[in-house]
Amino acid sequence: MSELKNDRFLRALLKQPVDFTPVWMMRQAGRYLPEYRASRAKAGDFMSLCMNPEFACEVTMQPLDRYPSLDAAILFSDILTIPDAMGLGLYFETGEGPRFKKTVRTAAEVEALPIPDAEKDLGYVMDAVSTIRKELNGRVPLIGFSGSPWTLATYMVEGGSSKDHRLAKALAFNEPHTMHALLDKLAQSVTTYLNGQIKAGAQAVQIFDTWGGALSHNAYKEFSLNYMQKIVNGLIRENEGREVPVILFTKNGGQWLETMADTGATALGLDWTTDIGNARQRVGDKVALQGNMDPTMLYASPDRIREEVKTILAGFGNGSGHIFNLGHGITPEVDPEHARAFIESVHELSAPYHK
């Protein structure tokens, strides 16, 4: 594999000195970009985009070509590839988000679920990773990712998106054995899936726990964090002569940062509801921090965006260990020039913190 020309992102994850605070955006290849919309139209639909390694590579590269200041690429895929590979039949309804043809709500249905083989059942993802790594040619590191077991389980039980996760929570509270059996299978599946991505060339991985923050304090530890811990324990942590950092991101998870930092993850993603300075005091030197501008700030003027970047950089303070990001994914209606103002102001304003 080619030598990395820009390893700022990986160095910051390991709290090593950097010249600027590195920056990337969750969902940086997405509908806010006209070139992405053109690729998606050409592919036919979202799943065809995900399942074709050439298309996945094309859209992964688009934000890097538009914004040369980005410090990382993230694999273009979907968090629901694992349940799809388990035979649940993922499809997308316009305006409704992801849906499954089959749900998982009983012990027998959990028992019947296979643990997907990363190479055979999800080979198209591994092909996308290796295709993107070749195309990047050492320009920036490539991030692989997966949904967390709890987040995947909510979609599998509900049959799609849900505002209150009523069915998933009812299963967890009424039949904890069944939910734990499902989460255990998912933890095994995510571990082999992420390890497959690392072997194919992902240089860091992120676990997206989108719905962990919907749980109560004790339920979060029992049904979400426990299973992310199992994954962290089972991941390949060195490849190609480098450490492979692991980022845990629980949306609305600011109250659990100390216990998340105890998992052995390299970094924690923060949403915008947590003050980054306070988070840094709480976790100390245990982990790097990633985040955490409110994505809707990108609807503000470039000057206002710049002010917010300045505030967050000052909040984190001096030294390495901060990867600048949004507190969640960029939204489709954002003006691409506002994203540019965000990305460029991070490099421009962060140099004094790394003297």
Residue-wise pLDDT for 112-128, tens only, equals 999 999 999 999 999 99
How far is residue 50's CA from residue 75's CA, in Å, rounded to a whole number?
Answer: 10
Angle between helices 176-200 and 166-174 in degrees, nearest 10? 120
> Is 150 within 8 Å of 211 (Cβ atoms)?
yes
> Is 143 within 8 Å of 206 (Cβ atoms)?
yes
How far is residue 329's CA from residue 126's CA, in Å, rounded to a whole number?
Answer: 23
Average confidence (pLDDT) over 54-60: 98
The pLDDT tens digits for 161-171 are 999 999 999 99
What is the pLDDT of the chain when averaged over all its residues?
A: 97
Give, in degrees to the nearest 5, the angle at Cα 255 between 254 and 261.
Answer: 75
> Is 15 within 8 Å of 286 (Cβ atoms)?
no
Q: What percent of the chain has pLDDT over 90?
A: 97
Is 220 assigned a ligand-binding role in the annotation? no
How far is residue 166's CA from residue 50's CA, in Å, rounded to a whole number?
Answer: 29
Is 210 assigned a ligand-binding role in the annotation? yes
Output the pLDDT for position 37: 96
Is 31 assigned a ligand-binding role in the annotation? yes
Is 237 assigned a ligand-binding role in the annotation? no
Q: What percent of the chain has pLDDT over 70?
A: 99
> Is 263 within 8 Å of 227 (Cβ atoms)?
no
HEC per residue, the chain: CCCCCCCHHHHHHCCCCCCCCCECCCCCCCCCCHHHHHHHHHHCCHHHHHHCHHHHHHHHHHHHHHCCCCCCEECCCCCCHHHHHHHHCEEEECCCEEEECCCCCCHHHHHHCCCCCCCCCCHHHHHHHHHHHHHHCCCCCEEEEEECHHHHHHHHHHCECCCCCHHHHHHHHHCHHHHHHHHHHHHHHHHHHHHHHHHHCCCEEEEEECCHHHCCHHHHHHHHHHHHHHHHHHCCCEECCEECCEEEEECCCHHHHHHHHCCCCCEEECCCCCCHHHHHHHHCCCCEEEEEECHHHHHCCHHHHHHHHHHHHHHHCCCCCEEEEECCCCCCCCCHHHHHHHHHHHHHHHHHHHC
How far is residue 342's CA from residue 26's CA, in Å, rounded to a whole number?
Answer: 13
27 is catalytic: yes
Question: Quick check: 281 pLDDT over 70?
Answer: yes
Taking residue 264's Cβ as centre, other Cβ atoms within 10 Å add up to 14
Output the pLDDT for position 95: 72
Q: Which residues pair with 100 in a beta bridge?
A: 90
Average confidence (pLDDT) over 130-152: 98
Give residue 54's identity as a one-letter amino acid code.
E
Output the pLDDT for position 229: 98
Angle between helices 34-43 and 53-66 in degrees, nearest 10? 170
The pLDDT tens digits for 307-338 are 999 999 999 999 999 999 999 999 999 999 99
> Is 102 within 8 Å of 87 (Cβ atoms)?
yes
Output the pLDDT for position 93: 77
Angle between helices 176-200 and 226-234 in degrees, nearest 10? 30
Is 273 assigned a ligand-binding role in the annotation? no
Average confidence (pLDDT) over 39-53: 94
Output the pLDDT for position 1: 61
19 is catalytic: no
Question: Quick check: 137 pLDDT over 70?
Answer: yes
Per the residue annotation, which of 32, 36, 155, 227 is the catalytic one? Answer: 155
The pLDDT tens digits for 282-296 are 999 999 999 999 999
Average confidence (pLDDT) over 131-137: 98
CATH architecture entry for 8-354: Alpha-Beta Barrel (3.20)
Average confidence (pLDDT) over 181-207: 98
> Is 283 within 8 Å of 15 (Cβ atoms)?
no
Per the residue annotation, which of 32, 36, 71, 78 is the catalytic one? Answer: 78
| Residue 32 burial class via C-beta count within 10 angstroms: exposed 0-12, middle 13-18, buried 19 and up | buried
Output the pLDDT for position 94: 73
Average confidence (pLDDT) over 57-75: 98
Q: How many residues does the chain have?
A: 355
250 pLDDT band (50/70/90 cuts)?
Answer: very high
Output the pLDDT for position 97: 85
78 is catalytic: yes
